[in-house]
Each structure stands twice: as C-alpha cells, then as structure tokens.
C-alpha cells in the first residue's frame, strides 16, 4: 500500500509517473492517515524545514539511499542528498554524486519512504541517537510517500512501478570497456584495441574522456588528434569496438562556438538574479550551464548530441553534472580580493588557517549554488532549491533527444549525478572512486540501493579511478565487475596506467574478463527481466532469506538475479574468504569458461579458497545459470548453444530472456525461453528460441 502526503508547495520532479494505486491522489492524503509509527513535523514557512521521525527497534535494518557511502544496511550514520563532486569517498562523507531519497526499514515495522524533494535532505539513520531515524528536509515543499508491505522486494517493486521503467542499455554495452582520462589521440586508442585483440582479451568499447574534444568544448572533436573522426569511428566498429565520448555540463564561453552562441541568443543558460548569465569554471575554463530544467533549453541541448550520433557514435557518458563548480567567477574575484588582503598582513595561526580554508573552499560552494536560477515550469527558481535535479535534467535532455533522433535504437547513456526518475533515461556510474580495497567493497554495497531506485545499468571504475592500482586489486575488482551491467576499467590522468597489459599475468586477465562473456546470457537475461518487471538484479541476502537473521548481517555477498550468489574477495593478499550460505548451495570456483572446480556446500559458514585467478559463484538449489562459450566481443557470443551450471534436486525452471539487444521496444514474454532441468538430468527448452542446452 502506498500513501502520498503533500506538504507546502513542492517542486514537481517527475520522479513518480504512475499514479495508479497511490492513496491520497494529487493533493495528498490527510495528515491523520500517517501511520502511527511515524511522526511528521512539517515546516510551514519557507524558512522552516520539516522532519519525519521513526523510533527504531534495536534490530531494525535500513536499506536504500542508492549511491552513497558505507554499508548495505544504512543504519548508524548521517547521509545527505546533496549531489556533490567530491572524489574522496571515505566513510566520513555524507553524500556522493546522487540524491536517491528512498529507503526501506525492516524490523518492528516493514515500510519504505520516498521523499520527493530536490532540495537538500538529511537522513539521520540513528546518528544523533542510536534508535532514532530522522529525515530532515530543507525548507520548501515536499511529497512524502509511505509504502507498506510484507516483503521487502515487493515494496521495492511497488516503488519501481510508481517511478516507471528503467533505462535499457544496448547489449553491446554489457561488454568490457576500457577507459582512461588521458588517451590523447587515435593512436592511443588503436593501441588499446590492438593490445586486447592480440592478447585475446575481449573488448567492446573504448571511452573517450575530455581529451577528444577541442579545448573541452562539448560536441566538438579535436581535428588534430582525431583528423578523420567518422572514419575512425567506422574503423573501430569494424574491429567490434564502440567509442563512447564524455559530455560535460558546462558550455565553454567562446565567441564563434555555436553551442555557446545559440545558447546565449536563446537565453538557454542559467542566469543570476540580475538576469545575466552565471559564469562558472570547469575544464574548458569559463562556462555557462545550460538550463536543462527548462523544457526548451533541455530539448536544444539534447539535440546537440546529434552531431556525434551522425558520426557513428552510439553511446555517451554525462559528467560534471552535479553540476561541479571548480569556481564561480564572482566568488573567485572576491577570493582574490581577500587573498590580496591576507598578503598585506603578517599571518598568525588564525589568519593563516582562515586563508587556507578560503582557498580550499573555492570549489562547489553551497553559497554559489544560491546565486543562479532556473526557468522551471514557468517559474524562476533558485538553483539550490532544485540542485539535485541537474544531472537528471542533463541526462533526460539526451534521453529525450535519442527517442526523437533514434526512436528504434538503444543508445548507451549513463551519468555521474542523478535523482530518482533519471533511471528512465540512463544509468549511472559510481563516480571517482580510488584504487583502494575498501572501495571494491563499497561498490558492491551500493548495488542493491541503486537497483531499488531503478538504476540497473550501473558499475564502478574497475581498478579504481584515483590513486595507483595494483595487479591484484584490478583482478579482484574485475572479479566483481564481470557481474555488473557496466563493466569498465577507468582511471585518472597522473595515476598508474591500469589497462590489463600494464601488468604481467595476461592469462589471468584473459580468463577473468572472458568470464564476463561466458556469463553474458544469464546477466543480460536477468538485467532485462529486472528492468521489465520493476525488479532488482542485485539483492542483499536479507531480501531473499527474510527469516534468516544471519543473512541480514551479510554485507559482502549479493544475490545476482534468480539463480546465484556472488562473494568477491576484497582484501589484499587474501587467498580466499569466509562466506555465509543461508541454504545449501553448489560452489563453482571458476578460472575460465572451461576450467573450474565444483563443490556442494551445506548451509552455514565456510572458508572458501579463491586465488587471484578465481571467481566464486554459488548456485541455489533447483536453479540453473546459463552460460555461453564466450567471445571476443558481445556480437561474437553465440547463444544458440548454452551450457548450464546447475544444482537440481527436483526440478529447475529458468526463464531465459534473449533479444537482438538493440531494439527499444521490448516484449519480455515473447523473448523468454523456458529451460527445464529435472533431477534425472533431462533438459528441455521451450519458447522463444530453439537452443541446444548442455549440463556442465
């Protein structure tokens, strides 16, 4: 059951698109209908914030909040919804790049809350007081949804039904991608592809970071470094490679640059209170921000992607769209003035640190986000009131344009910043993580929360973005990454190079990355089913084994789709790990699609060895996992013959979904083949495809 309560004059975010079944209608239910276990104090004026309070039972767990720091169970910390460009994702932080205001409480009561409001929200999950959950919403209106139900997964499905179907990525985007901030030109990219092809390591995409552009100007390609861009895109396609360029939020201020000039002429950029364009600083230097919350400006910006589509590009990543502000020009001037004052003084301990703080605080200043405005739904709205919608707006711009320009074809699209609702237009990557072991685990822990909010196409920078990766870290991270829909190795300029060929053990990389292509039929099928059925692909164990108290505490294993569980190794020098099995499972210790050991394990705790070249997969009783024999790229994966990992006691029925991977229109049922395996080892496949299945 879902109830909607409306407080003040909320800003319409279009996060919720299916109203059916929501009690309270457009205006909202009356406050008396708020369940007794919640206390809501709603601020009346613009200055007063609102609070939702829940007293937690000692064992209540909290799941959700999408992309954020810390564990799967969010209890015990203070989180914020405040999209921020902050690349140091330590556990001391409160927010990352996204605002995903949905969480579930599982304990004395079982319910979920979605706060639909784009302004800043603080989620005190037992931080101030261990047993008190308090959601504090900054002044401005908001819509509160309360979802109740018996089972966690069912509540999530209900929420997903409300917010609309998830974005579908093209199938090629399930292949392995190599990226690096710093690939300079065609030759650098050819070298990446050559290394993969010559070493027999699969690859489907190479990402173009900001260096492909001419002076970091969106929708341009540097003519010197990429002299024949369309021909180069074609050359890559012939080798099975898709090039995926980055698009940044800021538009360079430069006379003669058409995007700048058109935007200015039409008033499509964000403006200050005095009506002049706001000036920020990002990669290109001085920029304006397109007002992607304004329908006309959004359409205009979205259609700009056409110039790259026309050159053969079929995938994009949207970046810096919190939006990141290296500086706001006005404040920078002020800061220079202050600096000049400091220069005149003899600095003491106080003034020195004040100066240092001022310098360090030049970027992403909350005060600067209060100095520009959007023309949103016919009203002038200050950016800080809608801050969390900017990445959503930018990605929606592209997504809507793709629907117009490429109505049939799926285009790859993912973003750094996001809000619930953006999941209909694109996926997200988890931003600028570091080559730290702790981040491997954190990336795993984010997956279920992201799935709850509809972000199914997601993954992290494998190997870590900042800092130096080591070979073992990359291998272990790939061991998780082979299961995430977005599987991309990406790193920052200035860090150690981390393409597989920078390290010694080519065979290990070939085998582990190869496993992705072996699991592809299963992963793609589970992704598509989750998308079409409003379900999750990555689930905490507690969602599948709600009666098992031990399962509720597991923070480093996940269920992946219907049939299996994963347990990546995330500690350096570990040659295995402890695993908890809520039920008897069959362990496959996989080294490649042809080489593995298998073992039956009873329910309980186990120490399972896993060398650097091994990946652990656990198959549930009466389930199968469909595998291919691999391939050098997604197109080459043959799904007419499937191998089945299996653990069948009586009967397993697997619904295997498959399609051509490019069509936007999907008929799930028509694409399903039912694979039935009986305990006598007989296999039957009926439905969409004629396939050969083999138990392995």
Enumerate binding residues for ligand GLC (CB under 6 A).
Answer: 181, 209-210, 246, 319, 416, 431-432, 490, 492
H/E stretch holding 133: strand 132-137
Report d(CA 309, CA 259) in Å as an integer: 16
> What does residue 175 show for φ and ψ, rounded to 5 degrees?
-85, 175
Minimum distance, C-beta of residue 218 to ligand GLC, in the bound complex (Å) = 12
Minimum distance, C-beta of residue 250 to ligand GLC, in the bound complex (Å) = 11
Residue with tokens 């509160």: 144
Minimum distance, C-beta of residue 162 to ligand GLC, in the bound complex (Å) = 30
Report d(CA 271, CA 278) in Å as an integer: 5
Instruction: Give the nearer residue to ligand GLC in terms of CB position, either 252 or 586.
Output: 252
Instruction: Give the nearer residue to ligand GLC in terms of CB position, either 244 or 581.
Output: 244
Instruction: Give the nearer residue to ligand GLC in terms of CB position, either 210 or 480.
Output: 210
Instruction: Give the nearer residue to ligand GLC in terms of CB position, either 124 or 322.
Output: 322
CB-facing half-sphere around the CA of 15: CA atoms within 13 A: 28
β strands within 418-534, DSSP E: 418-419, 427-429, 458-459, 461-462, 487-489
Instruction: Give the nearer residue to ligand GLC in terms of CB position, either 244 or 531.
Output: 244
Minimum distance, C-beta of residue 251 to ligand GLC, in the bound complex (Å) = 15
Closest of 247, 485, 288 to residue 374, by C-alpha: 288
SS3 readout for 325-351 = CCEEHHHHHHHHHHHHHHHHCCCCHHH
Helical H segments across 372-460, by residue range: 383-386, 390-405, 437-452
Minimum distance, C-beta of residue 411 to ligand GLC, in the bound complex (Å) = 19
Residue with tokens 């027999």: 200
β strands within 184-284, DSSP E: 205-208, 242-248, 251-252, 280-282
Minimum distance, C-beta of residue 447 to ligand GLC, in the bound complex (Å) = 19
Residue nearest ligand GLC, CB atom distance: 181
Report d(CA 649, CA 150) in Å as an integer: 29
Instruction: Give the nearer residue to ligand GLC in terms of CB position, either 181 or 501.
Output: 181
Q: How many residues does the chain have?
A: 696
Closest of 667, 689, 688, 396 to residue 532, by C-alpha: 667
Instruction: Give the nearer residue to ligand GLC in terms of CB position, either 80 or 86.
Output: 86
Minimum distance, C-beta of residue 486 to ligand GLC, in the bound complex (Å) = 12
Report d(CA 569, CA 577) in Å as an integer: 6
Instruction: Give the nearer residue to ligand GLC in terms of CB position, either 263 or 431.
Output: 431
Minimum distance, C-beta of residue 491 to ligand GLC, in the bound complex (Å) = 8
Minimum distance, C-beta of residue 324 to ligand GLC, in the bound complex (Å) = 8
Instruction: Give the nearer residue to ligand GLC in terms of CB position, either 208 or 558.
Output: 208
């Amino acid at each position: 059951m879902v109830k909607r309560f409306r407080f003040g004059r909320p800003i319409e975010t279009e996060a919720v698109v299916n109203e059916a079944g929501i009690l309270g209608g457009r205006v909202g239910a009356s406050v008396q209908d708020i369940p007794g276990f919640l206390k809501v104090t709603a601020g009346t004026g613009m200055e007063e914030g609102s609070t939702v309070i829940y007293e937690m039972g000692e064992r209540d767990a909290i799941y959700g909040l999408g992309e954020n720091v810390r564990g799967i169970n969010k209890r015990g910390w203070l989180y914020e919804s405040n999209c921020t460009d902050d690349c140091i994702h330590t556990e001391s932080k409160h927010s990352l790049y996204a605002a995903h205001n949905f969480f579930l409480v599982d304990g004395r009561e079982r319910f979920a809350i979605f706060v639909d409001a784009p302004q800043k929200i603080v989620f005190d999950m037992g931080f101030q007081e261990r047993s008190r959950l308090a959601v504090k919403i900054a002044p401005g209106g908001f819509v509160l949804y309360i979802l109740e139900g018996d089972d966690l997964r069912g509540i999530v499905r209900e929420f997903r039904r409300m917010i609309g179907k998830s974005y579908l990525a093209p199938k090629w985007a399930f292949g392995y991608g190599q990226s690096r901030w710093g690939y300079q030109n065609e030759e650098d990219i050819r070298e990446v592809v050559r290394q993969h092809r010559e070493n027999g390591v699969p690859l489907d995409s190479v990402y173009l970071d900001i260096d492909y552009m001419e002076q970091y100007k969106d929708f341009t390609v540097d003519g010197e470094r990429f002299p024949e861009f369309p021909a180069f895109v074609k050359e890559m396609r012939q080798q099975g490679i898709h090039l995926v360029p980055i698009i940044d939020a800021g538009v360079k201020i430069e006379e003669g640059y058409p995007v700048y000039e058109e935007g200015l002429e039409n008033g499509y950029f964000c403006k200050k209170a005095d009506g002049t364009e706001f000036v920020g600083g990002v990669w290109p230097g001085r920029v304006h921000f397109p007002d992607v919350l304004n329908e006309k400006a959004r359409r205009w910006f979205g259609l700009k992607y056409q110039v790259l589509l026309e050159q053969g590009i079929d995938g994009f990543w949207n970046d810096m769209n919190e939006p990141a502000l290296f500086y706001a020009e006005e404040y920078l001037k002020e800061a220079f003035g202050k600096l000049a004052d400091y220069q005149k003084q003899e600095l003491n301990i106080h003034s020195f640190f004040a100066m240092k703080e001022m310098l360090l605080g030049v970027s992403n200043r909350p005060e600067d986000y209060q100095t520009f405005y959007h023309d949103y739904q016919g009203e002038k709205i200050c950016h800080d009131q809608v801050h969390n919608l900017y990445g959503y707006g930018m990605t929606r711009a592209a997504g809507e344009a793709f629907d117009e320009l490429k109505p049939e074809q799926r285009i790859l699209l993912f973003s750094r910043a996001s809000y619930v609702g953006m999941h209909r237009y694109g996926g997200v990557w988890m931003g600028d993580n570091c080559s730290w072991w702790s981040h491997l685990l954190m990336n795993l822990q984010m997956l279920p929360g992201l799935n709850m909010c509809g972000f199914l196409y997601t993954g992290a920078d494998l190997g870590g973005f900042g800092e130096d990766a080591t070979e073992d870290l990359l291998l272990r991270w790939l061991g998780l990454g082979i299961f995430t829909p977005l599987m991309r190795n990406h790193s920052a300029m200035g860090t150690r190079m981390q393409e597989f060929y920078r390290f010694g053990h080519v065979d290990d990389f070939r085998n582990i990355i190869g496993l992705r292509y072996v699991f592809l039929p299963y992963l793609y099928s589970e992704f598509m089913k989750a998308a079409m059925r409003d379900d999750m692909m990555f689930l905490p164990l507690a969602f599948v084994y709600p009666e098992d108290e031990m399962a509720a505490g597991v923070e480093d294993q996940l269920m992946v789709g219907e049939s299996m569980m994963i347990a990546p190794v995330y500690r350096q020098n570990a040659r295995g790990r402890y695993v908890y099995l809520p039920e008897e499972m069959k362990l496959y210790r996989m080294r490649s699609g042809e080489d593995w050991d298998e073992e039956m394990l009873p329910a309980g705790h186990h120490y399972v060895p896993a060398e650097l070249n091994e990946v652990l997969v656990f198959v549930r009783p009466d389930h199968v996992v469909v595998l291919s024999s691999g391939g050098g790229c997604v197109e080459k994966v043959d799904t007419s013959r499937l191998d089945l990992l299996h653990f069948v006691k009586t009967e397993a029925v697997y619904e295997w979904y498959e399609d051509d991977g490019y069509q936007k229109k999907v008929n799930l049922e028509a694409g399903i083949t039912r694979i039935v395996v009986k305990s006598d080892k007989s296999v039957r496949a009926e439905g969409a495809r004629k396939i050969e299945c083999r138990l392995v």
